[in-house]
Amino acid sequence: MRIDTSLFLLVLLHMCLAPGILYGQAFYGSGLPAATSLLAIDFSTLPAPLHKNLVNFGFALEKQMQDENKIHLASENGRLKISTSGQAFGFMVKKDLHVDQPNQLEIEWGVDTYPPGADWRYGNNYEPLMVILFFGEVLPSNHLFLPNTPLFIGMFLGRNEPPQQPYTSKNYSKTGRYVCLGNPEPGQVITSRLDIAKAFHLWFGDREMPPVTGIAIEVDTGELAFGERSSAFIKSISLGRAD
């Protein structure tokens, strides 16, 4: 199933979110049960030139992700670093995936500089880095003027937001959820772990989870003043299945 790039413009629509319910049982602690690896994306050995090799890696660079004046990409300490100065929005997306029945998600990442003023609790829905999983076929949006999209879960790191509390998109209330996976100190490397199958069923109701059909990595600094910065990094994303 091919997902059209326009569908991923949904990440522009972080505004008008309502907090959901805390479902801590969907989140793993320090360890994961043994699992079969289904997909592994490792940025630790990504060589220069980064834009070209990300495309070779299977990512399409969209919006300002291609504009070095807005979003700067660097390979540092075995991580892909994504930095902005002022207002910026861009994402890279890996489409045409088909990952069946994953129940383990693991992301190794961190934040060097949080966007000043970002706080999803009060509608300031900006983040230095978000990982988005898309599930299954395209579904209708809430409104005729919005692009249709598959079901999706967007995961980010925040300075202020309570971890593990999902937020529901007003514009995509039936298809989209966002969740903060942690509040690391600047420069701290953390590993976030999520039982993606359990989270899916808790947040989208008792429905069968479709395959993961796309992954996006996004930065959105919204209404930052000129010169205000954000900076985050990511080392790896993996999906697995435990019996």
Q: Could you report the per-residue pLDDT of 200-226, keeping only the tens digit for each?
A: 999 998 789 999 999 999 999 987 777
Inside any domain, residue 158: yes
Confidence of residue 148 (pLDDT cuts 50, 70, 90): confident
Residue 64's pLDDT is 95
More confident residue, 206 or 80: 80
Inside any domain, residue 143: yes
Q: Provide the 10 A C-beta neighbour count for residue 243.
A: 7
| Count: domains in the chain | 1
Inside any domain, residue 120: yes
Residue 24's pLDDT is 40
> Left, alpha or beta for 191 (phi > 0: left; psi -120 to 50: alpha)?
beta
Helix or strand or coil: residue 24?
helix
pLDDT at 106 over 90: yes
The domain of 169 spans 5-29+90-223
Inside any domain, residue 172: yes
Whole-structure pTM value: 0.89
Inside any domain, residue 80: no
Residue 27's pLDDT is 58
- Tokens 């992700």 -> residue: 65
Rounded average pLDDT over 25-38: 67
Please list the residues that pair with 39 across neighbouring strands: 239
Inside any domain, residue 49: no
Q: In whole angstroms, give the CA distance from residue 148 to residue 4.
A: 10
Inside any domain, residue 9: yes
| Strand ranges inside the chain, DSSP E | 17-19, 36-42, 60-63, 71-76, 79-85, 89-94, 104-113, 127-139, 149-157, 166-169, 176-182, 190-194, 212-220, 229-241
Inside any domain, residue 206: yes
